[in-house]
């Protein structure tokens, strides 16, 4: 029994996002393997993200992990892209799309992957 949860949030302007995730492993679900990951990107100082990953484990023989990060775009990466002639806006847009597309690239079903790609493009632009 394996579960892998991967989440990405991007907050811009005065927006806010909240993640409250739970991995529950029931009694008797021995040898379960569960992972939960929540990564968050703040594009402005006024944006806010709250994250609360949780594990509820009632079995003894399991492998389970969870983690969360909240950060801002890497200024060294933006500097590098700008040194290659990209504008600050384009550099930030590329990094933000790349952050979101980590999830899209991992989707196995081509129909779901195409839908997710359209959502990323619709919300984050080309």
Where are the chain's structural domains?
Answer: 1-72, 73-126
The gap from C-alpha 46 to its chain's centroid, in whole angstroms, comes to 20
Bridge partner residues of 19 (DSSP) = 51
Interval 85-125: pLDDT, tens: 999 999 999 999 999 999 999 999 999 999 999 988 888 86
Q: Could you give phi then psi for residue 5, rounded to 5 degrees?
A: -110, 125
pTM value? 0.86
Interval 22-42: pLDDT, tens: 999 999 999 999 999 999 999
């Amino acid at each position: 029994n394996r579960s892998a949860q991967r989440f990405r949030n991007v907050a811009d302007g005065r927006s806010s996002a909240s993640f409250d995730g739970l991995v529950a492993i029931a009694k008797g679900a021995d040898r379960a393997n569960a992972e939960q990951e929540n990564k968050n990107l703040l594009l402005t100082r006024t944006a806010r993200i709250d994250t609360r990953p949780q594990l509820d484990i009632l079995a003894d023989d399991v492998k389970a992990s969870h983690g969360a990060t909240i950060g801002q775009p890497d200024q060294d990466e933006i500097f590098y892209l700008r040194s290659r002639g990209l504008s600050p806006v384009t550099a930030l847009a590329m990094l933000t799309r790349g952050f979101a597309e980590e999830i899209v690239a991992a989707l196995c079903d081509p129909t779901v992957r195409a839908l997710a790609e359209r959502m990323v493009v619709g919300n984050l632009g080309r």
